[in-house]
Amino acid sequence: MDTRTVLIFLGPPGSGKGTQASRLSAALGIPAVSTGEILRHECESGSELGRALSAALSSGQLVGDNLMNQIVGRRIQAADCSAGYILDGYPRTVTQARCLDQLLAKLGMPGPTVIDFSIPARDVVARLERRLQCTHCGRIFSVETGWHGQLVCEVDGAALVKRADDHAVAIRERLLAYKQNARELVRFYRPRGYHRIRASRTPDEVSRDIFSALRLHWAAPVTRRHAAFATRAAC
């Protein structure tokens, strides 16, 4: 039996895919491939492609199919993906999904199992308005409503900042773009290994359902902090 695993996380931005991808990555020993992180690294490179990507991401636009297929295709052929991987943010269109099917067949990888994160738009907006990112390690943190002042990462002490694509206009654009493609993707994947998860609950409740759908044992992690996962910088 093929023990390799290819997982696809479907869901709008802010639905918690990154948190769950990190947990499953640790449990299965396979990398979580976030297209958002891949694109942001390219933006930071200062290349011509990076500048074009930066302009698109800042305005909430999606990157074209051909470019995304190339970027993701290159990443999942890396050595650390030989036993499988978790795709967070790809595919976003049926065109990309068909391209992924072709690449998986070419590489001799099994077909994907899909986890669909279902969450109301109002919950997504509320989450993204509280979201900050570490400027060093890229980890995402959620802060209390009404926060002010500089916060720092609990892991490396670097400053936390609001992402350029987490402002109101970009959030609306991203939700609209996701909704336009989501129904077709669900129809495409539903006849296969497809699982819909209610993502508006706590991370542990969502993890429990995902692990159950994949027939894995779930053990809640030890919580080191109570609340916002971030520390306030010294004045």
* Catalytic machinery residues: 17, 92, 131, 163, 174
Residues 6+ apart with CB under 8 A from 141: 131, 132, 133, 134, 151, 153, 160, 228, 229, 230
Pick from 111, 110, 119: which is nearest to 11 by CA? 119
Which residue do the tokens 């030890």 mark?
A: 222
Distance CA 59, CA 114 (A): 28
- Answer whether 100's CB lies under 8 Å from 46's CB: no
Helix 168-189 and helix 94-107: axis angle, to 10°?
60
Distance CA 14, CA 142 (A): 10
Distance CA 24, CA 18 (A): 10
How many of the other CB atoms lie within 10 Å of CB of 119? Answer: 19
Pairing mode of beta strands 5-10, 113-118: parallel
